[in-house]
Amino acid sequence: MKKLLLILLALNLSCKSDINSNASGDSSGSIQKSLGKKIEITDQLEKYFLQDGIEQRNKELEDILSKADSNTSNALEDALNRKSRYSYRYDSVENEKNIIEAKSNREVFVTMQKNIQSYLSSPESEKAFVYPLQKSPKDVVLYLFKAVTSGEFSNLKYFNDPYLKDYSDAHTMFLMAAYLPEMNLISNKKAHRKFTELLAESENISIEVQNVRIEKNKAFVLTSLIDSTSTKGSKEFVIELVNRNEYWFFDGIRD
């Protein structure tokens, strides 16, 4: 069970093409249909808190892009330098593979950077949207599980808390999945391979909401992941949600 929980916690390793080819469950069409029609609630939220949330979200995304920019640029430079300076000490085939990978990662980053900058400069990025199912904490949790195991991350941005200012690791990973799913393509090969292996097991996993406890504007959803191939029973964890104007948003995960 811990393996699938890692999928939820390590969304930044997700790769849509791998997920679609390996995961079972609803198709993208049925998942989109389950969401209902998108609703704008910008004017229903506190303008001050919403603006703070948007500014912090943008800062987090810019920080992630800045690190990826430096990493991909340095990796490409290192690969080229190693080939030119030490080619007599290293296998030329391996050198060439390293250069190809570094160039590919750099190209992915540049495209990703352009896409996110285009979005952040658009009017939609300054607005808040929700879906009807966000009225129910249980429905939110079930949808998030479907989205992760099917690779349909495009709507996750609407489940990110619009007021969020303090980002934990879980919040940052959720943000990356929602806005930067391509990060997987420039992540560590070993981590990517491990994630793909874990994801392949998702066809044996089902999710069950055991209980929903609501305190003021917080919901604590006790959830079980059930592996049909395991004899160890289910893995329980809690997904935390926060309410903004009667709609629920992701606020963390604990096991």
Q: H or E element: which one contains 86? A: helix 47-86
The per-residue pLDDT for range 214-237, each reduced to its tens digit, is 999 999 999 988 877 776 777 888
Place of tokens 């300054």: 126
pLDDT of residue 27: 47
Query: In which residue ranges of the chain is pLDDT below 70?
Result: 1-33, 83-91, 184-203, 231
pLDDT of residue 14: 40
* Distance, CA of 145 to CA of 95 (rounded, Å): 40
pLDDT of residue 150: 74
Decide: 168 and 38 in contact? Cβ < 8 Å: no
Q: Count Cβ atoms within 10 A of the Cβ of residue 238 and give its class: 0-12 exposed, 13-18 middle, 19 or more buried.
A: middle
41: nearest Cα among 187, 215, 158, 203: 158
Q: H or E element: which one contains 99? A: helix 92-120
Own/partner long-range contacts of 234-241 (Cβ < 8 Å, ≥24 apart): 234/1, 234/208, 235/1, 235/2, 235/4, 235/5, 236/210, 237/5, 239/141, 239/144, 241/137, 241/140, 241/141
